[in-house]
Amino acid sequence: MSDDSQHRPLRTFGRIKSRPIKPRQAALFDTLMPQVQLPDPRSGPLDPAALMPGAAEVWLEIGFGGGEHLAAQAARHPGVLMIGCEPFLNGVASALRHIEEGGLKNVRLHPDDARDVIAALPLASLDRVLILFPDPWHKARHNKRRLLNDDTARDLADRLKPGGQLRFVTDWHDYAEWALERLDRTPGLMRIGDTADWHAAPPDHVVTRYEEKKLGDTAPIFLDYEKRV
Ligand SMILES: C[S@@+](CC[C@H](N)C(=O)[O-])C[C@H]1O[C@@H](n2cnc3c(N)ncnc32)[C@H](O)[C@@H]1O
């Protein structure tokens, strides 16, 4: 996606393509993608009930990378509609392969900026939001590109149902503190757990590909929040 300077001058993600996509994965863009792609969120509101009638819950994963976590959670929770957003096309190709290999019927993808999906979702429509190892943008002059800021925190809180949960995970210490400060001051969000044990992975966490690379400056830090009315 190119920068849309009309309403969003700053990109929160880096490259959208790296190595050539393998032919088998490229073919999935023609065969599987039309079945799982979300309607264009810029064209109008999204109705989760229409995306998967009868879904028990609706989860949103922002920046799913290669889709390993998204696919694992979708397999664990077949009754849950899993919406995944990721502009990095090699990652989308990988996710399509996971969806095909797992025979997953409950995943829907938006191969672009999650902020458009968030804006198009109804208020109080999400049960869970997962932001796992977002691009750290750790140089001070790049901090403004961070996905988590007061605006996205508020928009996500507004889209969580009462009792819904948001998980933010990073292995960059200053991003954890940045996120903690902003999420703590977001109306309606209440932190679950204690910063004393913020390195303890929650039991339902699935290790991600980025996490395995250990590129950050600390062990993963988990911040879980609940939406209170
Ligand atoms: C560091 S990677 C981590 C990927 C994956 N969550 C993992 O842990 O393996 C962060 C990902 O977030 C994606 N991303 C950044 N900004 C985004 C946005 N606004 N909407 C959706 N995805 C975004 C990037 O393209 C990148 O693939």
Token pair of 123 as six digits: 């208020």
Distance CA 23, CA 91 (A): 14
Handedness of CA 194, 195, 196, 199 (dihedral sign): positive
Residue 133: left if φ>0, alpha if ψ -120 to 50, beta else—which one?
left
What is the three-class DSSP state of 120? Answer: helix
Which has the higher per-residue pLDDT, 25 or 111? 111
94-117 mean pLDDT = 97
Residue of the nearest CA to atom 22 in ligand 1?
63
For the CA of 131, the nearest atom of ligand 1: 6
What's the pLDDT band for 9 if we cut at 50, 70, 90? low
Nearest to 147 by CA among 228, 63, 69, 64: 63
| pLDDT tier for residue 91 given thresholds of 50, 70 and 90 | very high
Helices marked H in 111-200 — which ranges? 114-120, 150-159, 173-184
Q: In what order do the strands lie in the sheet with 80-85?
A: 107-110, 80-85, 57-62, 126-132, 160-170, 221-227, 189-192
pLDDT at 7 over 70: no
C-beta of residue 36 within 8 angstroms of C-beta of residue 86: no
- Site of tokens 């979708």: 74
Nearest residue to 19 via CA among 68, 118, 88, 111: 88
Within 10 A of 201 (CB to CB), how many other CB atoms are there?
13
Closest approach atom of ligand 1 to CA 169: 8
From 144, 227, 220, select the one nearest 192 (Cα to Cα).
227
Residues 6+ apart with CB under 8 A from 123: 158, 159
Alpha-carbon span 28 to 14, nearest angstrom: 24
Percent of the chain with pLDDT over 70: 96
| Residue whose CA lies nearest to ligand 1 atom number 13 | 63
Average pLDDT estimate for 118-122 = 98
**Mean pLDDT within 175-192:** 97
- Distance between CA 77 and CA 46 in Å, rounded? 22
14 CA closest ligand 1 atom index: 25
Identify whether 4 is a catalytic site residue: no
Look up the pTM and report it: 0.95
- Mean pLDDT of the region 159-182: 98
Pocket around ligand 1 at a 6 A CB cut-off: 12-13, 62-65, 85-88, 91, 113-115, 132-135, 147, 208-211
pLDDT category at 1 given cuts 50, 70, 90 is: very low
Judged against a pLDDT cut of 90, whether residue 193 lies above it is answered with: no
Best probe residue, ligand 1, of 16, 129, 147 (max atoms within 8 Å of C-beta): 147
Residue nearest to atom 4 of ligand 1 (CA): 65
